[in-house]
Amino acid sequence: MIFLQPWVLWFLLFLLVPIIVHLFNFQKPKKLLFSNIQFVKEVEKVVTQRVKLKQWLLLIARLLAVASLVLAFANPVIPFQKNVNEISGQRSVIVLIDNSLSMSASNPKGQYLDQAKFIAKEIIKSYDNTDEFQVQTTGKLRLNTGFIRKNEAMESILEVGFHQNRFTYKKFVEIIPFLFQNASSPNRSIYFISDFQKSTFLEEVTEKKWSEDYKVHFVPICKETFKNVFITDIEPETNIFEKGKPVNLKVTIQNLSDEKIPKLPIQTEVNGKIVAISSESLEPNETKSISISYTVQENGWQKAKISLEDYPIQFDNVRYFSYYVAEKHPILLVKGSENSVYLEKFLKEVTDNFDLKVVNSYELSNENLKDFEVLVLLGIKELSNGNAYRINEWVKQGGGLLFFPHDDMNIKEIQNLYDQMQLGVWKSPQILTDKVNMESPDIDRPFFKDIFLPKTKNAVFESPNFKKIYTFQPNKESIHQVIIQLKNQEPLLVQSRVQSGLVFSFTFFPSLSWSDVVTHSIFAPLIYKSLWLASNAQKWFLKMPIGQSEIYKIPSSSKNLVKLKKDNKEWIPEQYPQSGIISLNFNKLDIDPGNYALVQGDSTYVYIGFNLPITESDLTPAPSEFLNQNGLVLDTNTNVLMQSIQQTESGIPLWKYFLIFCLLMLFSETFILKFIR
């Protein structure tokens, strides 16, 4: 036991007063005339003993009453800490408030964030004016910052608003030493007020134990799980977006509740116009994928959103996305010495979607590849080191390449390009003397989506004949897939990813001297889909979670800052320019969900739909066992909270018991005076 106000113990000197009164009788005896004292002498001995006993009992009661009163005012406690010196003196206190959007949920006590701010004030009130404080939020952590006075901390709580950021238990463990770096007191406490979502807080868990230098307190706002319905994903079922053509979206909805949701309203908007309205019913705890269809009404960037009507949790009712509908895609066709009548005729007949420019191979050096979305190398024999380097850099920045080999091409020079892109190895062409048929294409592949009708029973694929092909061995470490191949597993078309770009490697030249595939029904769909996918695929469907470190790259050599824009407001993301590419990181931006324009100078690169991470929508709290194992869990009831703080900071208070004992001694004194003769 220790005393928080030890100076009060000086008042124990007043115990000398009743002792002095007891030892020295200051009253003068009075003379009484009495006729006979014979009987008095007989009882004198007995009476004297009783009087002395009564006086000693009164003295003990009075001494104990005064001592108990003094000890009560000295504020005695039984400390929890091993180091008793930490009980007294200045304290360094940090109040960490979860201000993520999940804190916009509410219960009968009100909105979670409002409750958290009220509790934060009560925590600070329970400390002395000599203590120092920090008020931190999960959305805007300020490391290595200074501490402030009590009144300043109370005012800073009023400024706390919503800000989305990824905050896990692992991050909580890691930041504590940095938050206390400027603390002037060894007595350090941190209070984390949150809804402690299991899906976010426990997303990353570390085995690191708390240092004994810190007292960690968890204040859970709500221990209940609220029902919530939200959109988990939006993916296009259509890979080709054209004006006047239908768009099919696969929308996944999750019902996190034990109740059935009947006829949930769903609305789709594009560029501020409602394009689709529907309703869906969901069973308890069901995850359901639905299809939403509408017609593209205009070219250019389509800023879209899909919204639900779900109450009372509304912060995640809307999901944003964007995609690009080009009027025409610019294509550069570079020809070698041998012409392909079939391919050139096809490209010229699809001018409604593609803007074609044709040059000879020796003119490639004069073309600016950044003016085109797709480059078609058709039967070129040679490729200089300079052009190979330019093509590689252009593809990495999002360009699309279609390559058709020539009979007499310089394999070494072509291989130089493929080595830079790390795609695979070209070998000499082979003459197919024996009839080798093409394997029936797997029309369930994403490549063939929107090309063929669904498989019909007993459908027969009539294979084209191939007379000659190049042998191409894809790099096993590259991101690639074989689109079509011969039945002997020799690839005919390989799709490969090179950073932001796509490469389609054909192992045959499109002419009848190589194969009759050019007159087959599969030829046009193969070329058409390859061109569509190659035409800047990074541009056509964009959505990104807020607060997560996803790097987005744009091709640019400009020194102007890249900015996000929305509603006449601007945000500047972290950006790292290197070799004509700017890498962008949006995780530290203070933005709300919505569609944002990514601009540099007067140029708009893309529109990006930013959304809350899906984990924010799962309001299931972390297990109480986990919190109890890693800190002290406090109740949100104000009286209980204040008592818990006093006990954790000072110890178990004993002043009440001393005060009660004082009253008992005063009662004992009255009893002795009245009943003991």
**Each residue's pLDDT tens digit, 139-175:** 888 888 899 999 999 999 999 988 877 788 888 888 8
Q: Which residues of 211-241 are buried (b: 16+ CB within 10 A; e: fewer)?
A: eeebbbbbbbbbeeebbbbbbbebebebbbb
Q: Where are the alpha helices (DSSP H) in 377-520?
A: 385-396, 411-421
Query: Is the model more confident about 208 or about 413?
Result: 413
Q: Which residue pairs, CB below 8 angstroms and at least 24 apart, start in 439-446?
A: 439/463, 439/484, 439/485, 439/486, 439/487, 441/483, 441/484, 441/522, 445/481, 445/483, 446/239
The two domains 84-225+619-650 and 329-534 share their CATH topology (first three levels equal): yes
pLDDT of residue 282: 94
Report the candidate in 202, 201, 215, 104 with the shortest Cα–Cα distance to residue 162: 104
Phi-psi region of 89 (alpha: psi -120 to 50; beta: other; left: phi over 0): left
pLDDT, tens digit (0-9, with 9 covering 90-100), for 592-645: 899 999 999 888 888 999 998 888 888 888 888 888 888 888 887 777 777 666
User: What span, in angstroms and rounded, lies between the C-alpha atoms of 195 and 218?
Assistant: 10
CATH 1.10.357.10 fits 228-326, yes or no: no
Given a cut of 80, whether residue 457 has pLDDT beyond it is no
Report the candidate in 300, 282, 196, 327 with the shortest Cα–Cα distance to residue 619: 196
What does the mean pLDDT of the chain come to?
84
Q: Cα dihedral angle (455, 456, 460, 463), rounded to 10 degrees? A: -20
pLDDT of residue 354: 85
Domain covering 544-611, topology: Immunoglobulin-like (2.60.40)
Find the range with the poorest average confidence among 285-294, 357-366, 441-450. 441-450
Residue 457 phi/psi, 5° resolution? -65, 135
User: What span, in angstroms and rounded, lies between the C-alpha atoms of 161 and 159?
Assistant: 6
Cβ proximity of 490 and 471 under 8 Å: yes
Q: Where are the alpha helices (DSSP H) in 277-368?
A: 341-349
Find the range with the poorest average confidence among 66-70, 298-302, 534-538. 534-538
User: What span, in angstroms and rounded, lies between the C-alpha atoms of 439 and 617?
Assistant: 46
Homologous superfamily assigned to 84-225+619-650: von Willebrand factor, type A domain (3.40.50.410)
The model scores a pTM over 0.75: no
Give Cβ neighbours of residue 117 (< 8 Å, ≥ 6 apart). Answer: 97, 157, 158, 160
Q: Which residue shows structure tokens 């007292």?
A: 215
In the predicted model, what is the mean pLDDT of residues 239-244?
81
pLDDT of residue 260: 92
Given a cut of 50, whether residue 84 has pLDDT beyond it is no
Residue 259 identity (one-letter amino acid): E
- Determine the distance from the C-alpha atom of residue 608 to the mean position of all C-alpha atoms in its chain, rounded to a whole number: 17
DSSP string, 487-512: TTS-EEEEEEEETTEEEEEESS-SST
In the predicted model, what is the mean pLDDT of residues 2-17?
74
DSSP string, 471-489: EEEE-TTSEEEEEEEBTTS
In the predicted model, what is the mean pLDDT of residues 427-445?
82
Beta strand 300-308 with 246-256 is unpaired
Phi-psi region of 9 (alpha: psi -120 to 50; beta: other; left: phi over 0): alpha
674 band by pLDDT with thresholds 50, 70 and 90: confident
Would you call 181 helix, strand, or coil by DSSP? coil
Find the range with the poorest average confidence among 129-138, 287-296, 519-528, 538-547. 538-547
pLDDT of residue 647: 60
Domain covering 329-534, topology: Rossmann fold (3.40.50)
Query: Is the model more confident about 458 or about 531?
Result: 531
Cβ proximity of 595 and 609 under 8 Å: yes
The ranges assigned to domains in the chain are 2-79+655-675, 84-225+619-650, 228-326, 329-534, 544-611
